[in-house]
Each structure stands twice: as C-alpha cells, then as structure tokens.
Amino acid sequence: MKTKLNDEDLIRQQFATNPNACFEELYSRYVGKVYNRCLSMTKDSEKAQDYTHDIFIRTFDRLDRFQEKSTFSTWLYSISFNYCLDQIKVAKRLPMANLDVEEAYQFADPAEQEPLEERLQLLTQTLQQLSPMEASLLRLKYQQGLSIQQIAQQLGLQESAVKMRLKRTRQKAYQFYLTAEKR
C-alpha cells in the first residue's frame, strides 16, 4: 500500500518530473477548500467557481516559487484570499451591470460610435507620447487591474514610488490628451 505524501514532499518529488500528476493531486486535495474560501468571500457560487479555477491556474504557474516558508495549504490559502480580495476591489471600482436580453441584441447607433472612436484614437496617441515605462505603468494599473502592491512587486519598486509615478503619469497623460483634443 502506497502512503500518501504530504504536500511539500509531493511538490519536491513530483513537480519536476511529473507536474501534471502533482497538480492534479494538489487540486483534488484543495479544490473544495479553495471554492469554500471564494464562496465565503464573494457570496456568489458562479464567481467562486471562476475564482477557484483562476487561483489554481495561478498557483500552478507559481508552484516553482513555493519556498516552503509555510505549509503549502497556508501558501494556497494566502493566494486564494488575496486573489478574491483583489477581484472584489476591482468589481467595486468597475461595477458590472447585467443587460436585459433585448438590450444585448441591439446594435449601437453608428453616430454614437464616431466620438468613441475619436476618443480611442486620442488615447492611443496619448499613450504613444508617454515613455514605455509610463505607458506600461498605466496598463498594469488600468488594463490589468493590478494593485499598487502588485505593481510594486512586479517592477521592484516601493509602493510610494509606484503611487507617485502613477500620479505623475496620469497628470502627464491628461495634459497630452487635452493638447491632442484641441487639435
């Protein structure tokens, strides 16, 4: 009879040689707990399922970074908690509204599209005038929805430096946008 390896031994022994089996075993051990954590935070079973899926993908992508400073379950719980918290923050910033079935099938008025396209062109021009680092910073924050802390970790900066750079970059972009709009 084969004894069941603890999480850390499983990762050490199987991740390098058979990552799929390692992942499947960890998934089967923790999918219920991660789902329950997500459900308790979101109060929405559909979101909880989506978040659980995303969390396991993130965990698998980062499994090589697991340093055994804590148990695997603690590490996974931390990823789960932080992911759900980030998603809740993003949802509060960018509220989503459900469309009625009839509204979903209506086509946009072409006259309304022109101002939108013009603004998108102005925005594209504005981003091109920024340095690559400034444009990247805005994309991390507003397209990818990363937190200040996540951006700081990714760029190797202090959080205060990220906040200041974001503030300055937004001001600079706004000035470029206003100048381009006047043309």
- Residues 148, 89 share a domain: no
Q: How many domains does the chain fold into?
A: 2
Burial class of residue 63 (count of CB atoms within 10 Å of its CB; 0-12, 13-18, 19+): middle
Cα–Cα dist 178/122, whole Å: 9
- Residues 81, 118 share a domain: no
- Residues 127, 69 share a domain: no
Domain span at 151: 112-182
Cα–Cα dist 138/165, whole Å: 10
- Residues 124, 46 share a domain: no
Q: What is the per-residue pLDDT across 48-101, written as a single tens digit (0 to 9) for each?
A: 999 999 999 888 888 778 787 888 888 888 888 889 888 888 877 776 665 555
150: in domain: yes
Average pLDDT estimate for 21-27: 85
Q: What is the per-residue pLDDT across 3-14, written as a single tens digit (0 to 9) for each?
A: 678 888 888 877
119: in domain: yes
CA 175 vs. chain centroid, Å, equals: 28
120: in domain: yes
Cα–Cα dist 19/100, whole Å: 44
Q: What phi and psi values does residue 97 have, to the nearest 5 degrees? A: -115, 140
Q: Which residue has the higher pLDDT, 127 or 87?
A: 87
2: in domain: no
86: in domain: yes
Cα–Cα dist 172/176, whole Å: 6
pLDDT of 5 reads 81
